[in-house]
A and B are shown apart, each in its own frame.
Chain A
């Protein structure tokens, strides 16, 4: 089976700044590839290349086995790669169903919006994902942060995404809300989508992930299958192992 996305030694420089270098990973259908790293590790650069916002300048980027270089997010979208950005997922003052169909609105024969169909399809698509909203007419802004992420995820799934890129979907959420979002990530995975989950929280990544790519300062620190690593090791790797131990010593010194 060919992977949905495969990158090999991919890299990107902004002028003299090396933002990403020699990163290899795969995204398979029905699997979650987690990209972990601290701020400035290169996570955003990587997903922007996958989403078509930026172009890589080293290595190869294959979509379904075919080498590719997107020139716009629209192109990536047409190849079935949908990205849900942390803050850019929805328009708060617009209703749920109008958000859901934004950019792909259903119309009647006369070119008018088919709001009846829009509302029904939105409700159905959301409930298929296990999101039960009574009123799809309410502004998205009245939903909680987690629910808004879920609407964005359901939208991507509904419009035929094969790969779902989620940029820190749990970053600004409380523990419970994060759990809800992760549940929908798992739902999307079980429906056969390939998911790229970007996060800096190993506790969010580990339960749903199949593969973990750790980035640090633009380089791959390691790439593991779930069977190769446990959560403690993942957390340790992520925090920079030895560095954290040194820090712990320092802090203990202050306490004493």
Chain B
């Protein structure tokens, strides 16, 4: 043997130094946690209502509806894809449920099942199109976003003659389904919406799948390096389609909560929300390029959203300021994420 190089000792001394930073690299949600704490303290000091039970119930509810979607979108983003149709999907699923129940007189539970099947089919179609064409998911789902938006308005107007479907309260099964998706529970005399429980549950399940299962490992891998994952036998196509279906499932959940809570749905609902989901996921530590992020982080990103949106109302400020806040948060989050990634990806040769 002519080659006798010994690398390990050198590798060790290089390892010991950046350990604190490496710990941070492994925790994508650290930045979001810090941000959430700051926002919480700020509004707790500035406003009266924010810390009250009623106040908390309001911003937690706001965060929960966004959070369910943000967590699903985060999984998809870690898997390296986007879904711009996610926002409109929350309206589409609500509309399908409402139209079936009010117009065809279906039992609400049955209508919910059909709309779930519809959502999963759209999700699978999104995923299949992206994988089959090899086009960026940004473009493909922009297409399904526009198509669904058109369908929502067109079909609703065709069937009801207006752009809203109402009258859910009179349908069979509304009470029992409403209990599952839209009831409230009491803590210390204050009503909290059950959507908060759905949000926490969804986050816990998503995070467990992501960090503790083989499928979770594959999500990181297909987002980080698709070809490498395929080379070691990860089923890339199947995994990505499943992720699109997960997002669609979350949209169905949020849509169902909406329709059962308000008993009516506007056909133009949900437009523009898709970016809020992506923003919450990015604030939570997801990279736009995939392969890195956290489900818990996305849930915290949504929490920041909810706290700031309601906090600004309690403070009596114009809600225009929310957009400014959002912009600054997003930029800060992207900068922090970028720094972390560069550290993680730094190539030493």
Whether A142 contacts B344 in the complex (CB less than 8 A), given A77-B233, A105-B214, comes out as yes
Q: How far is the CA of A107 from the CA of B16 in the complex (A)?
A: 30
Chain A neighbourhood of B349, CB < 8 A: 144-146, 172-174, 177
Which of the 9-residue segments A60-68, A86-94, A193-201, A234-242 touches chain B? A86-94
Q: How far is the CB of B297 from chain A (nearest CB, A)?
A: 15
Whether A88 contacts B15 in the complex (CB less than 8 A), given A93-B341, A183-B4, comes out as no
Which of the 9-residue segments A33-41, A132-140, A210-218, A247-255 touches chain B? A132-140
B233 contacts A112, C-beta separation under 8 Å: no
B7 is an interface residue with CB less than 8 A from chain A:
yes
Chain A: residues with Cβ within 8 Å of the partner, total of 53
Which of the 9-residue segments B32-40, B59-67, B219-227, B270-278 touches chain A? B219-227
Enumerate A100-135 residues with CB–CB distance to B below 8 Å. 101-105, 107, 111-113, 115, 130-135
Chain B neighbourhood of A208, CB < 8 A: 3
Enumerate B1-50 residues with CB–CB distance to A below 8 Å. 1-5, 7-8, 11-12, 15-16, 18-19, 22, 25-26
Q: How far is the CA of A180 from the CA of B348 in the complex (A)?
A: 14
Q: How far is the CA of A173 from the CA of B343 in the complex (A)?
A: 20
Q: How far is the CB of A10 from chain B (nearest CB, A)?
A: 22
B328 is an interface residue with CB less than 8 A from chain A:
no
Instruction: Find the A residue at minimum CB distance from B21.
Output: A142
Q: 25 A–B contact pairs at CB < 8 A?
A: A73-B231, A73-B233, A74-B233, A77-B233, A83-B231, A90-B225, A93-B220, A93-B292, A93-B341, A94-B217, A102-B232, A102-B234, A103-B233, A105-B217, A112-B213, A132-B11, A134-B16, A139-B26, A139-B344, A142-B18, A142-B346, A142-B348, A147-B11, A179-B4, A183-B1
Q: How far is the CA of A89 from the CA of B227 in the complex (A)?
A: 9
Q: Which residues from chain A sit less than 8 Å from chain B, CB to CB?
A: 73-74, 77, 83, 85, 88-95, 98, 101-105, 107, 111-113, 115, 130-135, 137-139, 141-147, 155, 172-174, 176-177, 179-180, 182-183, 186, 207-208
B346 contacts A102, C-beta separation under 8 Å: no
Chain B neighbourhood of A89, CB < 8 A: 228
B229 is an interface residue with CB less than 8 A from chain A:
yes
Q: How far is the CB of A34 from chain B (nearest CB, A)?
A: 14
Q: How far is the CA of A221 from the CA of B26 in the complex (A)?
A: 50
B127 is an interface residue with CB less than 8 A from chain A:
no
Instruction: Find the A residue at minimum CB distance from B9.
Output: A132
Total A-B Cβ pairs within 8 A: 143
Whether A103 contacts B346 in the complex (CB less than 8 A), given A88-B225, A113-B212, comes out as no
B320 is an interface residue with CB less than 8 A from chain A:
no
Chain B: residues with Cβ within 8 Å of the partner, total of 47
Q: How far is the CA of A141 from the CA of B341 in the complex (A)?
A: 10
B220 contacts A142, C-beta separation under 8 Å: no
Q: How far is the CA of A116 from the CA of B56 in the complex (A)?
A: 39
Residue of A91, A103, A111, A131 near B213 (CB, 8 A) is A111
Q: How far is the CA of A177 from the CA of B10 in the complex (A)?
A: 12
Q: How far is the CA of A102 from the CA of B217 in the complex (A)?
A: 7
Chain A neighbourhood of B18, CB < 8 A: 142
Chain B neighbourhood of A130, CB < 8 A: 8
Residue of B3, B7, B214, B224 near A107 (CB, 8 A) is B214
Give 19 new A-B contacts, CB below 8 A, not counting A104-B233, A145-B347: A74-B233, A85-B228, A89-B228, A90-B225, A91-B220, A91-B221, A91-B229, A93-B220, A103-B232, A103-B234, A113-B212, A135-B15, A142-B22, A142-B343, A144-B347, A145-B348, A147-B11, A176-B7, A179-B4
Whether A90 contacts B233 in the complex (CB less than 8 A), given A180-B5, A180-B7, comes out as no
Flag B60-89 by CB within 8 Å of A: 1 or 0 each. Answer: 000000000000000000000000000000
Chain B neighbourhood of A135, CB < 8 A: 15, 19, 22
Q: How far is the CB of A142 from chain B (nearest CB, A)?
A: 6
Q: How far is the CB of B178 from chain A (nearest CB, A)?
A: 34
Chain B neighbourhood of A132, CB < 8 A: 8, 11-12
Whether A137 contacts B291 in the complex (CB less than 8 A), given A85-B231, A91-B228, comes out as no
Chain B neighbourhood of A172, CB < 8 A: 349
Chain A neighbourhood of B19, CB < 8 A: 135
Chain A neighbourhood of B346, CB < 8 A: 141-142
Of the listed residues B208, B232, B234, B287, the one surrounded by the most CB atoms of chain A closer than 10 A to its CB is B232
Q: How far is the CA of A146 from the CA of B3 in the complex (A)?
A: 14
Q: How far is the CA of A207 from the CA of B3 in the complex (A)?
A: 8
